[in-house]
Structure 1
C-alpha cells in the first residue's frame, strides 16, 4: 500500500486494538501490510506550517503513543511530583522552624504583638515567594 501525500496518509485509520500494541508490534503490522509513514510526505513543500505540525503530531500519535511510552511518561511524572512534594515539604519545614524560633524562644524581646507581626510577615512572604510559584509549577499528569 503506497501512500505519498499527507491527506492519504492521515486518512489511514489504525486497526482496532492499535492503542494497546507495542512499538515493535506496530512496526511489524505496518511492515506486514506495506505501510510506511515518511517523515516528509510528497506534498510537504506545499503544506502550510499548521498542516505540517498536524501531520507530525498525527504520525507521533500513530507511531509513538505506545504503552511503553505512556508508562515512561507516568514514571517521569511520578518522579517530578515526588521531587515537587519534597521541595514543598522543605519550604514548610523551614517556615515552621522560623516560626518556632519566633514563638519558642526569647529571640524577640517584644511582646506578643511583635511575634504576631513577624508571623503574619513570614506567612505573607512565604506565600508570595514560595507557595504561589510552587503551585504554578506543580507537575501535571501526562495526557492519556
Structure 2
C-alpha cells in the first residue's frame, strides 16, 4: 500500500481549485469501490473535496468545473487599498468626492453608493457625535 505524504505544503489550499487530472482518479477510485477515506488518503486530498467531486459526478455526470455564479466585484484589491489609503489621509471626505477622485486617479467609473458599500465592508462607518445640551452655567 502507498504511503501518503504528510507534508502540509503539498496539501491543497482552501482557495485552490482541483485540476482535472486529479478529478479523474477520484472517480476511478469510486468506480473501483474504494471508500472516500481511502481515496482521500491515497491522493492526499481532503475528504470533503473527494465527497463533493463524487456527488457532482453522480448528479451532473461530469467533473468539469462550472462557471461561478454572480456578478464580479467592481473594485479589486488594489482599488480597495487605494480607497482605504485615501480615507485614512482625510477622514472628512464625502463619498461623492471620493468617487470623483477615483475617476481622475484610476479612471474607474464608480458611484458614491459603491464607495460607501466598499467602505462599510472595510469597517469605515460615518458616525458623528450626537449634539448634547450644554449643562454648565
TM-score calculated relative to the size of structure 2: 0.26
Q: Which of 1 and 2 has greater Rg? A: 1
What is the TM-score of this pair, normalised by structure 1?
A: 0.25
Comparing both structures, which one devotes a greater share of its residues to helix?
A: 1
Q: Report which structure shows greater RCO (CA 8 Å, sep ≥6).
A: 1
